[in-house]
């Protein structure tokens, strides 16, 4: 089975979506035809993705065993850390970042929001959250103390690269980039771009 880092990015994205689909699927089996119907993917893509993670069962007519397929996908995506909690921070508490302050969004996942950061001290003091909020100046020691490895970047576009650099320097190894900027990062740092505006452009 290929490790997560070895899987093509497009395959990783589809497997993440398929994992969520299977988690909510009530049937004991699911066919390739049903997966294609629900996702809009071609059968060749489904078969290719599952072949990459060494799922050799045929599922077009008789269907895949849902629980087995879900576990196979989880093993491929998360490996040994699939049941371990991973600590996350939010960098940027403007409108976009503030919308993520409800950690109930992450309650059924392996991710735990441990801190939020913003350069505006007044914003940090006014906003309310179930996890601590800090001025960006305290980012370095908080990330190390809380063993935070992942960050959601939600600052203004003009501040994106600077904040990205600060996060990496503090020890962050993976960033979900919610800005429109293309970030420059050292080798080994994972970036997932999730700009709503850019996503809208892709479907128009």
CATH number, domain containing residue 127: 3.40.50.720
Is 61 in the same domain as 132?
A: no
**Close Cβ partners of 109 (under 8 Å, ≥ 6 residues apart):** none
Q: Quote the pLDDT of residue 82.
A: 54
What's the gap between Cα 97 and its chain centre? 15
Is residue 115 within 8 Å of residue 134, measured between CB atoms? yes
Kindly state whether residues 115 and 66 are assigned to the same domain.
no
* Model pLDDT for residues 128-142, shown as the tens digit of each residue: 998 999 999 999 999
Same domain, 100 and 188: yes
Could you tell me if 44 and 104 lie in one domain? no
Q: Where are the alpha helices (DSSP H) in 80-195?
A: 95-98, 121-126, 139-145, 160-170
pLDDT at residue 2 tops 50: no
- The residue behind tokens 């060749």 is 44
Share of the chain above pLDDT 90, in %: 49
Burial class, 143, CB count within 10 angstroms (exposed 0-12 / middle 13-18 / buried 19+): buried
The CA-atom distances, in angstroms, between 107 and each of 11, 24, 112 are: 26, 16, 8
Examine the domain organization and report whether 133 and 151 are in the same domain.
Answer: yes
Asked whether residue 146 falls in the same domain as residue 168, the answer is: yes
How many domains are there within the chain?
2
The answer to whether residues 77 and 90 belong to one domain is no
pLDDT for 57 equals: 57
Model pLDDT for residues 140-159, shown as the tens digit of each residue: 999 999 999 999 999 999 99
Give the pLDDT confidence score for residue 202 in this predicted structure.
Answer: 73
What pLDDT, on the 0 to 100 scale, is given for residue 1? Answer: 42
Q: Is the pLDDT of residue 4 over 90?
A: no
53-104 residue pLDDT tens: 876 555 556 788 898 899 888 888 876 555 678 999 999 999 989 988 876 7
Domain endpoint, select from 44, 64, 81:
81
Q: What is the predicted pLDDT for the residue at 115?
A: 96
Contact between 106 and 131 under an 8 Å Cβ cutoff? The reply is no
Same structural domain, 98 and 177: yes
Q: Which residue range forms the structural domain that includes residue 48? A: 4-81
Give the residue from 55, 81, 107 where a domain finishes: 81
Higher per-residue pLDDT: 116 or 104: 116
* CB-based contact 36:46 (threshold 8 Å): yes
CATH number where 58 lies: 1.10.10.10
């Amino acid at each position: 089975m290929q490790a997560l880092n070895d899987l093509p990015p497009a395959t990783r994205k589809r497997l993440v979506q398929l994992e969520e689909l299977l988690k909510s699927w009530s049937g004991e089996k699911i066919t390739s035809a049903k997966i294609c119907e629900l996702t809009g993917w071609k059968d060749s893509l489904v078969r290719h993705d599952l072949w990459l993670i060494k799922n050799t069962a045929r599922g077009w007519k008789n269907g895949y065993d849902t629980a087995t397929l879900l576990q196979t996908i989880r093993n491929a995506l998360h490996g040994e850390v699939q049941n371990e909690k991973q600590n996350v921070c939010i960098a940027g508490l403007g409108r976009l970042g503030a919308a993520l302050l409800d950690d109930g969004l992450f309650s059924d996942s392996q991710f735990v929001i441990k801190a939020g950061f913003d350069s505006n001290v007044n914003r940090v003091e006014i906003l309310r959250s179930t996890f601590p909020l800090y001025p960006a100046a305290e980012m370095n020691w908080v990330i190390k103390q809380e063993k935070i490895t992942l960050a959601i970047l939600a600052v203004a576009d003009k501040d994106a690269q600077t904040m990205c650099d600060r996060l990496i320097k503090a020890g962050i190894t993976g960033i979900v980039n919610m800005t429109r900027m293309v970030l420059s990062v050292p080798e080994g740092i994972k970036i997932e771009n999730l700009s709503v505006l850019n996503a809208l452009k892709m479907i128009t």
